[in-house]
Chains A and B, each alone.
Chain A
Amino acid sequence: DVKVTQSSRYLVKRTGEKVFLECVQDMDHENMFWYRQDPGLGLRLIYFSYDVKMKEKGDIPEGYSVSREKKERFSLILESASTNQTSMYLCASSYDRFTNEKLFFGSGTQLSVL
């Protein structure tokens, strides 16, 4: 089975801190995605990547950046955390750009910014 692993299940940070959320997949998938999930808003795409060192902005990239130095790892960075970034963050991967329909999700990181 494909496994998408997010480094932390719960994270508490202070306003202004730099925050790294890590995601690793073990099935050689080309595509990786970061979403945030908020009550009443569903899933919103932050950034995605179709290849190593590639990144594309999603619908809500402001306040975030990403890094993909290796195929299996996709990191989400909050340069200066703010309280409105308190959310559940979900990482996902899929095989490639042309069969990107089936996403495999991690269990999520619940981030609280105080």
Chain B
Amino acid sequence: GNSVTQMEGPVTLSEEAFLTINCTYTATGYPSLFWYVQYPGEGLQLLLKATKADDKGSNKGFEATYRKETTSFHLEKGSVQVSDSAVYFCALNSGNTPLVFGKGTRLSVIA
């Protein structure tokens, strides 16, 4: 079946540090890949997505590249801010099935 594995947190960084959150997946067919973000006290919201191999999704300074050869979709940001503190979820969708989410990675950015 489809599954997503992402690095365990929590991750604590200083402001302006470089961020990487690893995500790998197992899927049948050709999945679409997503990163969702959950800010404190809120539901999840879509951060970025990529629908085919070598696509790069980007939004709000975050980027992730769909790597079919390594079955990965790592999230990166060059310079994090305190406002990026949140829980980040990697997810995939294959065919017409519901999204499958990873367990989430909590990021704390300190000033």
Contact = CB atoms under 8 A, between A and B. Distances in A.
Contacts of A33: 98
A31 B44 CA distance: 16
B93 A100 contact: yes
B96 interface: yes
A42 B89 contact: yes
A55 B43 CA distance: 22
B99 to A, nearest CB: 6
Contacts of A92: 43-44
B49 A101 contact: yes
Interface stretch (A64-72, A77-85, A105-113): A105-113
A33 B101 CA distance: 13
Interface residues of A, number: 23
A9 B29 CA distance: 38
A24 interface: no
Interface of B: 32, 34, 36, 41-46, 49, 89, 93, 96, 98-99, 101-104
Given A42-B102, A100-B99, 14 more contacts: A35-B101, A40-B103, A42-B101, A43-B44, A48-B98, A90-B43, A90-B44, A101-B49, A102-B46, A103-B36, A103-B44, A106-B43, A107-B41, A108-B43
